Structure formats: structure tokens, C-alpha cells
Amino acid sequence: MAPAPDAAGAPGAVAAAPSGAGEASNGHAAGGPGRDEAVWALGMEPSGRAPAGPVVKKNPMQLPPALDRVDTLQAALESGLRRPVFFLDYDGTLTPIVKDPDAALLSTEMRKVLTELATLFPTAIVSGRGRVKLQSLIGLHDHQGLYYAGSHGFDISGPMGGDESLRRKEASETLPVLKRASSQLVATVADFSGSQVEDNELAVSVHYRNLVDKEQLPALESCVDTVVNDLPGLSKHHGKCVFELRPETDWHKGKAVEYLLDALGLGGPDVLPIYIGDDVSDEDAFKALYGRGLGIIVMSDADVAEYRAKGHPDGRHTAATMRLCNTDDVRGFLGSFAAAGREGRCKGRSTPPPASVAGRAVTVESGGT
């Protein structure tokens, strides 16, 4: 597996547009881009290479709306410079955040868009959810072009109905500890009305969005910390109103994206990886693709206000380079690419989707579902 680049430039959204790159009043490109505008939209220098430079995190409100760049992006891709590959978070990206995690079902409209997108372009769902539960929520088990990376990428499957999966060796070894942690946390959160434990197979989530007494949050976190400290091989992570326990190893969504690109033979310079996500864990993927692809954060004005209310005056800084406001925007963005692929305006799959995600990495072992 090729390592993530340590330094790369920001795709399209950060650099100023080249002179002459006109836009219509609605923010969309006024016509097909010339080569200079095309390479700018794809985050490349005129030479066609990604610019050098460190990862720069920015206030999401300073990022350009991805919907306002979609015409330019598609026209640039139509020029044949690169072809898109999609990596999509689930909760807060493909479906709105809901009070009951088990009720976060994919809408009929989004399922239709996702079905067509995955038919035309390599597409993977990358989520903290357990892979089997994720497949159930999406309801496209037998789609021949959709890949899944559940439990933050610790459990990956190909498009053949989910009969084959690949698991990180460390995660499989930590599974008994995760089960113990889940059992202990279920007993613990009984004292915190409204909190909920979700067993994601190779990760455990403690949701506190519905915590009745918000003043209990520090005590709840202390209980989670106690479990983490008492059990070997676990680490705690923060998300949107959730504490997550994962195997303590250098693996995350960004590593999973890199693995999939390598395993599917999509690591070349002719590929444009596009990652869309809303949560803190998605930052690992944004950083992994920085200068190599496009990171698009899903964040509304209300989300920014929530971060400020929690004591972060500048909101949450991100390594993403474009922004979408909500799941409706995500559906519109993905739908526009599905239409472009259907009409032949955007280069899609060059070969049928591989049946396996075994790839060339040696740190992932086969595992059952």
C-alpha cells in the first residue's frame, strides 16, 4: 500500500482561480474550462502535478461550495485528465443525523442516486458503523459496484453481496476486548438516561445526543475512560455526540481509503478520489487525500454555531477543501455526477469492478462476516 503523502497542495478550492476563469452569476462555470482552469479545478499545477505544500486546515465557512464548482469539475474531468472515484461517509452525509442510530435508513431518493453512481464510478461507503449493519441500512447488498469499509475501515468488503470481508489483524485480535468493553458500557450507561451503546463489531460507540441531563456528560466520559484504561488495546475517539472505542493501532478512515485505492488499482495519477464526510473521523481521509483528491466536508451554518457554543470560536477547522451544507446538497452533487456519467460527459469505470478487495496489502487478513 502506498503511504499517504505527508505534504501536498490543496485541490482547487484553496488556490485562487486562474485569470480568465469566468463564472456565471449563479457561481457555475460560464463555459467549458480551458486547460489552465481544468487543472486548477482538479488541484494541479499547469504541469499536471499536484502542488507541494503542507496540509492547511481552514474554517469550513471559508471553503467554496462544492455545488458551485461541480460544472467546472465535470468539464475538467471530461477533458480526460482524471476520472472520479467516490468515498462516502454514511451518517450525516448520505442520511441525516437522527436521534435513534438504528433509524438512520437511506432515503429512496438517495438510494437511487447511489445505485446509479456506483454503477458508473468506483464507489465505497466508509463509516464508523459495523459493516453488516451498514449494508443493512443502505439496502443495496447485491450491487456489483459498491464497496464497504465499516468500523472506521477495520472491516472491508467487496461488491459481491458481502460474502467476503477483510479485517485488520489487530482488530480481529482485539475483538474479545471490544465485546467486554461493550458489555461493561451497557451496564454503565444505564445510569445515564438517554445515552446508548452501539456495538459496531470492530468498534464500540457511546452516543450521548439524547442524554437527558447534559450536566452528566463529564461523568459519562469518565466512565468511558475507565473502561478504556482497564482494558488493553483500546483507544477513545470523539465524534458528533459520540465517544468511540477502537483497536489501538494506526488505522483509520484515511488508511482504509488508501488501501482501497491500492487494492482496486486506482492509485494512479489519472484518478481523482473524492471523499465526502461530516464527522471528526473523516478528517483522517481528508488529510490522506489532500493534494491527491478532493475532500468535501458536510457542514451547515448550524453545525458551525454548535461548535462555537462548545467553546470553539472559529468552529471546527478542516483539511477538506470544499463544503456541502447538508445531505440534500450531497444528493445533488452526487446526482450531477451520475447524470454526467450516464451522458458520457465524465469518464467512468475503465474495467468491470473487481470482485475482491484483497489487493496487495499484507496487513489485512481475511475474515468472515
Please state the rounded mean pLDDT for residues 108-136. Answer: 94
Domain boundaries along the sequence of the chain: 83-160+252-300+315-367, 169-247
Among 276, 280, 202, smallest CA distance to 241 is for 280
Highest mean pLDDT among 146-150, 156-160, 304-308: 146-150
pLDDT of residue 22: 32
- pLDDT band of 92, cuts 50, 70, 90: very high
**Mean pLDDT for the chain?**
79
> Quick one: what percent of the chain has pLDDT higher than 90?
44
What's the pLDDT tens digit per position in 194-239?
999 999 888 999 999 999 999 999 999 999 999 999 998 999 999 8
Report the range of poorest mean pLDDT among 66-75, 239-248, 288-297, 348-357.
348-357
What's the pLDDT tens digit per position in 242-251?
999 998 888 8
Q: Find cell 451547515 and name the residue.
A: 300
pLDDT of residue 366: 37
Report the range of poorest mean pLDDT among 11-20, 87-96, 278-287.
11-20
328 assigned to active site: no
3-class DSSP state for residue 323? strand
In this structure, which CATH number among 1.10.287.610, 3.30.70.1020, 3.40.50.300, 3.40.50.620 belongs to the domain 169-247?
Answer: 3.30.70.1020
Please state the rounded mean pLDDT for residues 129-133. Answer: 90
| Per-residue cell: 115 | 445505485
pLDDT surpasses 90 at 332: yes
pLDDT surpasses 60 at 356: no
pLDDT of residue 91: 95
Does the domain at 83-160+252-300+315-367 match CATH 1.50.10.10? Answer given as no
**Catalytic-labelled residue, pool 71, 89, 303, 329:** 89
What's the pLDDT tens digit per position in 164-203?
567 776 677 888 999 999 999 999 899 999 999 999 888 9
Residue 8: C-alpha distances to residues 130, 294, 326 (Å): 32, 12, 28
What's the pLDDT tens digit per position in 40-82?
455 544 444 444 567 778 888 888 899 998 888 888 787 777 8
pLDDT of residue 353: 60
Q: Quickly count: other Cβ atoms within 10 Å of residue 263's Cβ.
A: 22
